[in-house]
Amino acid sequence: MSLSYVHVEADSPWSTYLSQVDRVVPYLGRLARWVETLKRPKRTLIVDIPIEMDDGTVRHFEGYRSQHSLTRGPGKGGVRYHPDVTLEEVMALAAWMSIKNAAVNLPYGGAKGGIRVDPKLLSLKELEKLTRRYTSEIGIIIGPHQDIPAPDVNTNGQIMAWMMDTYSMNVGATATGVVTGKPIHLGGSLGRVKATGRGVFVTGREAARRIDLDLQGARVAVQGFGNVGSSAAELFGQAGAKIVAAQDHTGTIFNAAGFDLSELIPHVKNTGGVAGFRGSEPMANEDFWDVACEIMIPAALEGQITTDRARRLKAKLVLEGANGPTLPSADDVMADRGILVVPDVICNSGGVTVSYFEWVQDFSSFFWTEDEINVRLDKIMVGALRNIWDTADRHKITLRTATFAVACERILTAREERGLYP
């Protein structure tokens, strides 16, 4: 199924999502009659964002906000700033958010936003103008009870603060709950920054126990060493694992003995990437997929694990820190090879779970400690993964298909019970 207003490429994010939905239909029973509602976004907005640049010229940028499903609650999902952002990508990311939120049983639907821009080429003032105009343009469909944006690729707490302030000025009241991932003193939550990486670690720790993989001395390769990848690497390092390879937009580095993370993480913050880290040797980017390791963490962008790369992987366990990093054909290859994949829609759901905590805290104006946040996060993620694993064992299916089965059942049950209006 394709939509008339978007060109669907083979192996694109949207086609990958559609393939994943098709695989789960046999396990939906009577709910399968509603499956088409999962294959169409409820609402998609394309906006023009004109801003005056520092040199006086006016430039136009294209922005998107896609709401895939609002059946179980308000839309929830991040906003990314990237030169390769497309409508199709945003639609797929919104759909994965629907699955992710339902998989951990959060009272949200799925949404996602983005602007096609390289934010590194904008000054801070231009970035603020871009953010505020984008927020005003999508303001007609977002709100604390409608759709709640959050940080994603190349966005952060400062951008969320601008979004919150712009929305608040337009509605005439401070509305801290309109976004999550805000600075702490503007209603943000402790534990939010490292929550996605923590979720990757928690689900990875549980998966390792299931396959009798000892984390002490386990070799880990991480693709993408931003917020998610570095946070996950730090926690695995604390658990006794060795981070032997890392890759980001600046290059690939390797150290068979494991990196000193107390030096690598500051290096990345100071230089903008892993390249040039003195406690490592450089490696060709494509050779990253041949690294001998027990755990592989793709935490960059979509479509990274292709069929060819899946055949070359040495890992026993793949933890998807990124959204949609594995192509469906590669999923099949890894399943045949006995490589366990913990899918993105449960593995990286720690971020949206703590975003939910932030949203709840904003409404009550009562805030929890970081320890309380982490305990609640761990409990929710471990419980969700165990439920998914039980489903996988019962039907003898992969964790990805089981996650979709659990999530789609929840979404479509809500759809059936709500009925169609009018």
Could you tell me the two tokens for 87? 């409508």
| Whole-number Å distance between alpha carbons of 292 and 48 | 46
How many angstroms separate the CA atoms of 333 and 287, rounded?
Answer: 19
Catalytic member of 76, 100, 112, 194: 112
Cβ atoms of 65 and 45 closer than 8 Å: yes
From CA 101, how far away is CA 115, in angstroms rounded?
A: 23
- Per-residue exposure over 76-85, b if at least 16 CB sit within 10 Å of its own CB, e if not: bbbbbbbeeb
Q: Which helix (H) or strand (E) holds 16?
A: helix 13-24
Per the CB < 8 A criterion, the answer to whether 240 and 215 are in contact is yes
| Partners of residue 296 on adjacent β-strands | 221, 318
- Residue 112 annotated as catalytic: yes
Residue 48, φ and ψ in degrees, nearest 5: -90, 135
90-99: b (≥16 Cβ within 10 Å) or e: bbbbbbbbbb
Q: Quick one: three-class SS letters along 73-103?
A: CCEEEEEEEECCCCHHHHHHHHHHHHHHHHH
Closest CA to 86 of 67, 48, 113: 113
Hey, which residues are catalytic here?
Answer: 112
